[in-house]
Amino acid sequence: NASLPGILQHPDGTVLKQLQPPPRGPREQEFYNKVYDSDCCDRILLELREYLPKYFGVWSPPTAPNDTYLKLEDVTRKFNKPCIMDVKIGQKSYDPYASAEKIQQQVSKYPLMEEIGFLVLGMRVYHVSSDSYETQNQHYGRSLTKETVKDGISKFFHSGYCLRKDVVAASIQKVEKILEWFEGQTQLNFYASSLLFVYEGSCQATTVRLSDVTLAEKGRVPKGLLSGGDVLEYNNNINVINATENGKIEASVGKGLSKFYALHKKSCSKRHHSQLSLKVENSEQDNVWKSSTCITQEHLNGNVLPQLEKVFYHMPAEPKESAKVEVRMIDFAHVFPSNTKDEGYIYGLKNLITVLQNILDN
């Protein structure tokens, strides 16, 4: 059910991005190959990997061997209700080799690019209050002026109930790390490249079923510490696995496989998720990884259910700054070797950080 051409989701949790026609497609492929070369020992490029989706080479469908796709990490996969924003960064969205008409076309699309240094290409925000997504396309971003850009971007951080200041703060930290990388490198310049912002939109109560007894029917279950100092992490998909022979109950995390992801051609698409119901499992599923936490019978005093309730109810609330947020660089069809800092990209990042800081402060 791909609603957009060019991006498909693979069942293995990657996305397939169709290679654009030359020279853009081959240039993007070459960029990923260079950064992810297994022989790479360039500190700058190795560090850059932290800020990109992971790259798994290229793929072609058996039925159409001439169609090439980049196989990339689905950055949204670990989220239950992902809120997504795509922001083009830089003062110029045309590269140094663009024709006069290409330059004219790009500048006329958003004359403020030079001044603002970034452009919102699309967003998709989950509203808790209505249990629905609000989507904005590139026309929304192009309608923003210097005066309205702050409010325009703050829309992305609004849940329908409140402004998610935890997410704004975490986003600033992530963008600052990317800025730091740019301040320290003079080998690549990026044009018409974007930052992809993703955060968790849902904050609904998590239901944990042990046999048929519901433990946490009301109240949300925050991420937090179990006694013993081990952190139990999950994203609204907890599997409580049956007591093992050694009398331990293991809580582990189910990573729900999202069915489809697309954010491409500068617009945001509908997204469907399989909501896993949280039932007792006799064996670990393929998509479940164990947390380091084991709650022993002894610790539970032989009284499993009431004690488990305590564990889930009394975990401290998640500290504000650890909001689940991803910020990744995407779209590399216009990356060129350079011997200077990428001042246009740096200008855009600094301006974006200023806007985010203003959203946070007011």
CATH architecture of residue range(s) 75-204+321-361: 2-Layer Sandwich (3.30)
The per-residue pLDDT for 204 is 53
Percent of the chain exceeding pLDDT 90 equals 64
Task: Please state, rounded to an integer, the average pLDDT across all residues of the chain.
Answer: 76
**DSSP-assigned letters across all residues of 50-86:** GGS--EEEEE--TT-TT--EEEEE-TTTT-SSEEEEE
Distance from C-alpha of 2 to C-alpha of 321, rounded to nearest angstrom: 35
Q: How confident is the model at residue 287 (pLDDT cuts 50, 70, 90)?
A: very low
Tell whether the model's pLDDT for residue 225 goes beyond 60: no
The per-residue pLDDT for 157 is 98
The per-residue pLDDT for 238 is 31
**DSSP-assigned letters across all residues of 344-358:** HHHHHHHHHHHHHHH
Tell whether the model's pLDDT for residue 37 goes beyond 60: yes
The per-residue pLDDT for 7 is 86
Percent of the chain exceeding pLDDT 70 equals 66
Distance from C-alpha of 357 to C-alpha of 141, rounded to nearest angstrom: 19
Tens of pLDDT, residues 195-224: 999 999 998 533 333 333 333 333 343 444
Contact assessment for residue 308 and residue 213, using Cβ atoms and an 8 Å cutoff: no
Query: What is the average per-residue pLDDT within 250-270?
Result: 29
Q: Count the neighbouring beta carbons within 10 Å of the beta carbon of residue 130.
A: 9
Tens of pLDDT, residues 68-124: 999 999 999 999 999 999 999 999 999 999 999 999 999 999 999 999 999 999 999
Query: What is the average per-residue pLDDT within 154-171?
Result: 97
Whole-model pTM: value is 0.70
Q: Which of 259, 276, 162 is nearest to 208 (CA)?
A: 276
Distance from C-alpha of 198 to C-alpha of 79, rounded to nearest angstrom: 8
The per-residue pLDDT for 296 is 32
Which helix or strand (DSSP H or E) is residue 8 part of?
A: strand 7-9
Q: How confident is the model at residue 322 (pLDDT cuts 50, 70, 90)?
A: low
The per-residue pLDDT for 23 is 97
The per-residue pLDDT for 94 is 98
Tell whether the model's pLDDT for residue 190 goes beyond 70: yes
Query: What is the average per-residue pLDDT within 170-194?
Result: 98
Structure tokens at 118: 């970034």
Task: Write down the domain spans for the chain.
Answer: 1-74, 75-204+321-361
Tell whether the model's pLDDT for residue 256 goes beyond 50: no
The per-residue pLDDT for 6 is 74
Q: Collapsing DSSP states into helix, strand and coil, what is residue 132?
A: strand
Give one word for 96, left, alpha or beta, with left for phi > 0 and alpha for psi -120 to 50. alpha
The per-residue pLDDT for 219 is 39
